[in-house]
Structure 1
Amino acid sequence: MASTNNLKFYIFLAFVAIILANVLKSGLFPINNDIKRTLGYPENSLLNFTELSGRYGYLSEEHTLVTEDGYILTIFRINGKQCAGKLKKPPVVLMHGLLLSSDLWLDAGPDAGLAYLISDACYDLWVGNQRGNYYSRRHVRLNPDKDEEFWQFSADEIGLYDIPATIDYVLNTTGEEKLNYIGYSQGAGTFLIMCSERPGYCDKVNILIALAPATRLTNTKSVLAQSILGGAQQLEGLLAAIGIYEALPKGALNQELLAFVCKFSATSEFICGNLIATLDSSHPGSISKETIKISFGHSPAGTSVRTLARYGQALSSDKFQKYDYGKPRNLDIYGEEKPPSYNLSTVTIPFVTLYGKNDNLVATEDVLWLIKELPNVLEAVEVADPMWNHFDVPYSQFSKDLIFPKVNEYLQKYSIY
């Protein structure tokens, strides 16, 4: 862990960043895409999921679904260019991680982005979005710009409501009884939450393929991540007192500034590549300059301060547990002083995980801990490249060789041609 003085400094910076992301919203932000084009932003960084996939000849559809607690989520269906009339069954759901969106699966381009690779293999691919990012920042009655209640969620509620709603929507739309699920980081952790809280939903899934699954974060090595998440935990009450509940939304000053800086070839790798390396770890040459430019046009994608705070709590816990409200509210909500742990023994479906030895966000030790807790682990694969880290999963130009073959192997085992 970082020294106390360093952590205090980084926590202060995290606090300033969240303040800037919320207070400095104005008519200047987000910058109009037409203006960005005149300034030379990469075109792919300005496009949404359907526009970007369509640019490369892929057929995609935008769908909306509503969770039991009223959040309106956007989900995309994408089919490969040569797959008309020959899609495999059952459907596949691909879910993003913290502060990201469905766009991350396209940012590395058709030769490396997992959404392209999976759909090109003719799977019926559905790419989800979790509440709070820019694709899912709506509610049937709450206004995210006015109602603090909209932001009173963390990964707990995402697992309890968003993942089940996504599964139900895909199955109801396709008429299938089961699907295959691929979750990255928070996208895997929230699936495990669902299985613990709503175990019947695990029966609707054939297999969980977990890419760098985020559950407990006891051994997270990234000082910057410790600072952002720990800062959110310590400052959540103060931020709430000044009316800030949303964290790092797309279109806010800090995201727009990063997108601007990262668009220049001279600074994209030196500044933005180094930022990725500082947040995670260094892996020279893995993420191309072009992918770096595009990805910062789509991220950070936004979430709640509470979600960050919950992960801040996870840094100092050796369990995979629910959000800690403090003793009085824990008693009211959970019936006990401490937040309960999730029951991972309920995750009885086949489980496969891929993880990187150089991942400073979801450490190998925490992945190995998770494996021991689950009853039906088919395989745990350490990616062959010893430099493989957390952000390599969606962004690396080598995903086609290092990630996709194993994903495809297990999708084939649980698919009908």
Structure 2
Amino acid sequence: MATSILPSLLLPIILWMCMSFVECLTTVDKIIEHSQSYDGGLCLNLIQPCGYACVEHTTQTKDGFLLGLQRVSSSTIKLGVQSGPPVLLLHGLFMGGDAWFMDSPNESLGFVLANHGFDVWVGNMRGTKWSHGHSSLSDGDKEFWDWSWEEMALYDLEAMLTYINSKTSSKVFVVGHSQGTIMSFAAFTQPDIVNMVEAAALLSPISYLDHITSKFVLNLVNMHLEEALSLLGIHQLNLKSNILIDIIELGCDGGRLDCSNMLASITGENCCFNSSRVDFYLEYEPHPSSLKNLKHLFQMIRKGTFARYDYGTLKNILKYGQTKPPTFDLSKIPESLPIWMAHGGNDALGDVIDVQHTVKELKSNPKVLFLEEYGHVDFLLSTRAFEDMYDNMITFFRSCKMSSSF
């Protein structure tokens, strides 16, 4: 999709709408930070109340971010001594590690894997409320938010895998959803990272985004919303502030797009999640992310590339030594790495054409499960998830060569 120039008449309109929430953005963020601090962390608030053993851990990235990890096991298995291999769960955009525990123990993947004897580790990316800041920066600093999924892939995932490996002396199974799969694909092109991975299961796998069908997202992309927010000096995107209302207004195109079903407008029709639990989900979601992360994703949609962040011609030359950012070459992912994927026919963000593009570029022959009815959110919250896909995933993991008996 070719990049278009922001129409000169549109920018002042967007700026005016954005200005209406800039002042309250800072105030509301402070309120949210306090009210959602959840003393005791993810273990105490969501996992232990369901009867599962859970311990909080922290690891530090090479660029100083302090990331929260939770280690989870079934109450019938002593934490840290189970025979099953470690598995790391990587959440999607505007989500945190809580995303894997939103439903009952028989439906939520984090609980399901623990029930089947896996040594479950829950990843929380930089900027989310279950991670713990930075060694020297405050989240009020511009520099704190100077990252995209590229840094999550090359620093966050590397730090988490290194930490888990040090605690378990074992290679790690990786499970990602949405943004978690973008991170995984990019990281797996790096030998020092992929060598710590036993196998990967990717839900709504994404490395290319140029065929997404979400009209809501495409409206925001075509409006260059991220440019307006950048001009206003916004670096953090916290969708629990009034910014959400204004973004919805823009994305719904002034009423010309039917957004009565907001979730479907963004993700595609989801067949199987329990809509009666939405209020509970919203107690935890969405999490903050950086504006730069959104910019990077919008670049992928416009350019049809799976590449590092594009700073523009001059800065690209200074940073990369070339006019365009280097691509992440999927053919560099080792053929020996076992990969399992599940994608859906109603997924407006992980389009079937883009998934096929990804598979074509891999050297390996991944196992692919296609679920015609599934939308983007179903892969996390479907009430039928175990019989539709999680059982299949566990069978795949068990079939992989593992260093420990399992």
The counterpart of 1:98, out of the listed 67, 88, 93, is 93
Secondary structure in 2 matching 1:126: strand
| In 2, Cα distance between equivalents of 1:309 and 1:99 | 14
Secondary structure in 2 matching 1:89: coil
| In 2, Cα distance between equivalents of 1:227 and 1:209 | 31
Q: 1:228: how far off?
A: 3.7
Deviation track 1:99-132 (CA, whole Å, cap 9, x = no partner) reads 1100111112222111111111110000101112
Match of 1:261 in 2: none
| In 1, Cα distance between equivalents of 2:327 and 2:389 | 30
| In 2, Cα distance between equivalents of 1:140 and 1:226 | 37
The counterpart of 2:338, out of the listed 332, 347, 350, is 350
The counterpart of 1:199, out of the listed 177, 180, 191, is 191
Matches within 5 A, 1:52-131: 52-84=46-78, 87-131=82-126
* Contact 2:148 2:293 (C-alpha < 8 Å) held by counterparts: yes
* Contact 1:108 1:396 (C-alpha < 8 Å) held by counterparts: no
| In 1, Cα distance between equivalents of 2:309 and 2:219 | 18
Matches within 5 A, 1:237-276: 237-248=227-238, 250=240, 252-253=241-242, 274-276=261-263
**Alignment pair present for 1:282 and 2:283:** no
Letter in 1 for 2:175: I
Q: Which segment is superposed worse, 47-56 or 149-158?
A: 47-56
- Taking a change above 3 Å as real, the CA distance of residues 12 and 135 of structure 1, as seen in their structure-2 partners, is farther
| In 2, Cα distance between equivalents of 1:288 and 1:98 | 20
Deviation track 1:326-355 (CA, whole Å, cap 9, x = no partner) reads 111111111111112111112111211110
| In 1, Cα distance between equivalents of 2:287 and 2:15 | 16
Q: 1:88: how far off?
A: 3.1
Q: Which segment is superposed worse, 79-88 or 108-117?
A: 79-88
- Taking a change above 3 Å as real, the CA distance of residues 157 and 11 of structure 1, as seen in their structure-2 partners, is farther
* Contact 1:133 1:249 (C-alpha < 8 Å) held by counterparts: no
Match of 2:252 in 1: none
- Taking a change above 3 Å as real, the CA distance of residues 308 and 33 of structure 1, as seen in their structure-2 partners, is closer
| In 2, Cα distance between equivalents of 1:114 and 1:48 | 16
Secondary structure in 1 matching 2:303: coil
Q: Sequence identity of aligned pairs in percent?
A: 25
Letter in 1 for 2:21: L
Matches within 5 A, 1:18-417: 20=21, 23-26=24-27, 29-30=31-32, 48-84=42-78, 87-136=82-131, 138-145=133-140, 147-174=141-168, 176-196=169-189, 198-229=190-221, 231=223, 234-248=224-238, 250=240, 252-253=241-242, 274-284=261-271, 286-348=272-334, 349-383=337-371, 386-414=372-400, 415=402, 416-417=405-406
**TM-score normalised to the size of structure 2?**
0.85
Letter in 1 for 2:345: K
Letter in 1 for 2:59: L
Deviation track 1:125-166 (CA, whole Å, cap 9, x = no partner) reads 001011122222511111111x21111111111111000001
**TM-score normalised to the size of structure 1?**
0.83
* Contact 1:156 1:323 (C-alpha < 8 Å) held by counterparts: yes
Q: 1:322: how far off?
A: 1.4
Letter in 1 for 2:396: Y
| In 2, Cα distance between equivalents of 1:142 and 1:378 | 40
Deviation track 1:48-77 (CA, whole Å, cap 9, x = no partner) reads 443211111011111111000001111111
Deviation track 1:378-398 (CA, whole Å, cap 9, x = no partner) reads 311102xx2201111111111
* Contact 1:159 1:191 (C-alpha < 8 Å) held by counterparts: yes
* Contact 2:14 2:225 (C-alpha < 8 Å) held by counterparts: no
Letter in 2 for 1:409: T
| In 2, Cα distance between equivalents of 1:11 and 1:116 | 48
| In 2, Cα distance between equivalents of 1:132 and 1:123 | 27
* Contact 2:88 2:172 (C-alpha < 8 Å) held by counterparts: yes
Secondary structure in 2 matching 1:68: coil
| In 2, Cα distance between equivalents of 1:272 and 1:130 | 29
* Contact 1:324 1:338 (C-alpha < 8 Å) held by counterparts: yes
How many residues are aligned here? 382
